Amino acid sequence: MAGVRTVGASGLLLARHIVSAIRWCSPLGILSKHPQQNHVALSKCLQQLTLTSSRHITFGRGQQQRSSVATVDGPTAGELRALLQFGTDRELRQFWRRTGARLDVARAANALHVLRALQAEGVAPPAIKRHPALLNIKKARLSEQLSSLRRLPAPVGEVFPLLLLRADQLRAAVRAAGRDGQLAFPGHRSRLHYLADQLQTGLETLCAAVRRNPSILTFPGSRITEITRLMIDGGIPRDAILDDPYIYNHNVSVMRERLEWVHRVQLRPLRPWMLRCAEHTLQEHVERFQLRLAILSEHGDEVTYLSERLGLGRARVSAFRQRHPPALRVSVIKMKEVLDVLLAYGISGEQVADQPRILCYSARRIRERCERLRAAGLRPASLLVLCKTPKDFDRYMAAATGAEGLATVPDTASAAGERTAGDASPRTPA
């Protein structure tokens, strides 16, 4: 049907071209009183237009033919589903989307070949499903990659994610592994075993991380050990190092200076990006960290801080997580700015508890709206007014200022069930 719609659209486009050509020809006097001459003139004018539209029609037919090709036949799909241990075809299709390729007969056959080859090397189907891109490796490349991988001092079933490296990268890694030995990594067979031991993870997880930065496989052993010990001894979590393997590409002296700096200011938690980012980025992060500490120094955590400033119990503040979960995920720095504005304009803790999502709005926006309400002599009964979209707030102000002698204005639009931007909680009538 997609192809038919494309052809129909192209035919309509061609008709529009013809009408446009006739309108263009008539004022210029190209059309004469003789039908034969008109036919020749129009034929010349429409020749190029017809060629353009015919390309659209041809493309539509091609789309129709490609869409009619069966994705994969029954026996192949059944065998692939069985090897990958899926219960239904739907589960197989959902998994295959992660490969980034279309599941057709040729790709399914290639995936079966990859599965059998990896299972022969001791790779279990659940491990293959964790790395779906493996199923797109072509037969010739797979044979070459497996030949190189077998030369590593580790079972193929543990380092198989490295099959996704380019052929030249894997060959360079094999050559570097042959030079490692006991001298570069005492007590370990290779750098892979050393890193897996230091980062306390398995070889499969390590290889999946190293694949994002293959330079780790060819760096001098002294650099690998120095950076690894520097980060671990500096208090950087091991899982954070695995998530950021690019840290091994950066200057060791700079990283050492950064570690001394963040320890002096007692920055927590530590992450590898802090050792390699621009200096001004780290400076801003440190300033925000110190400001956060200053705000929470007398309160402990965000819930206690909100509870004491709003005059509410901890249980009521904790209930914000159910009513509007993002409210307690707001930065404590922004939270303080918003509370300062709300309390300065006489808004009570009960009103905030009624609409906790107000904590997610900017202090500047709240201040501007409170000023407009104060200038108009209005005092809304609900914070729902401050949460309105700009257009709805303008409408509210126009309607409210048109009524005389109102000190407290009910939010009639909200009572009717109106939804506003950023809302994730049930509406409460004002």
Rounded Cα distance between 72 and 323, Å, is: 47
Q: Is residue 258 part of a domain?
A: no
Q: Judge if 26 and 114 occupy the same domain.
A: no
99/232 same-domain check: yes
Which phi and psi (to 5°) does residue 190 adopt? -160, 175
Q: How confident is the model at residue 172 (pLDDT cuts 50, 70, 90)?
A: very high
Which of the residue ranges 43-57, 62-76, 167-181, 361-375 would you say has the lowest mean pLDDT? 62-76
In a domain, 294, yes or no: no
| Domain termination residue (choose one: 37, 67, 97) | 67
Is 405 inside any structural domain? yes
Pair (227, 126) in one structural domain: yes
Integer Cα distance of 10 and 178 in angstroms? 62
Residue 330 belongs to a domain = yes
254 falls within a domain: no
Mean pLDDT, rounded, of the chain: 83
For residue 140, the enclosing domain spans: 75-239
pLDDT band at residue 402 under the 50/70/90 scheme: confident
Centre a 10 Å sphere on the Cβ of residue 307 and count the other Cβ atoms it contains. Answer: 19
> Is 222 found in the same domain as 81?
yes
Last residue of a domain, one of 239, 261, 291: 239
pTM over 0.85: no
Distance (Å, whole) CA 16 – CA 362: 51
Q: Is residue 257 part of a domain?
A: no
Residue 38 has a CB neighbour count (10 Å cut-off) of 15
Count how many domains the chain has.
Answer: 3
307 and 235 in one domain? Answer: no
User: Nearest to residue 341, comparing CAs of 361, 357, 322?
Assistant: 361
What pLDDT is stored for residue 205 in this prediction? 97
166 and 225 share a domain? Answer: yes
Q: Give the residue, 227 or 66, on which the prediction is more confident.
A: 227
| pLDDT over 50 at 325, yes or no | yes
Same domain, 50 and 80: no
Same domain flag for 86 and 235: yes
Residues 231 and 317 reside in one and the same domain: no
pLDDT mean over 392-415: 66
| pLDDT score of 13 | 54
| Spatial separation of the C-alpha atoms in residues 116 and 80, rounded to whole Å | 10
192-196 average pLDDT score: 96
Same domain, 205 and 321: no
Same domain, 206 and 81: yes
94 within a domain of the structure (yes/no):
yes
250 in a structural domain: no
Last residue of a domain, one of 199, 214, 239: 239
CA distance 200 to 150: 24
The model's confidence at residue 180, banded by pLDDT at 50, 70 and 90, is confident
The confidence score (pLDDT) of residue 428 equals 37
Residues 225 and 336 in one domain: no
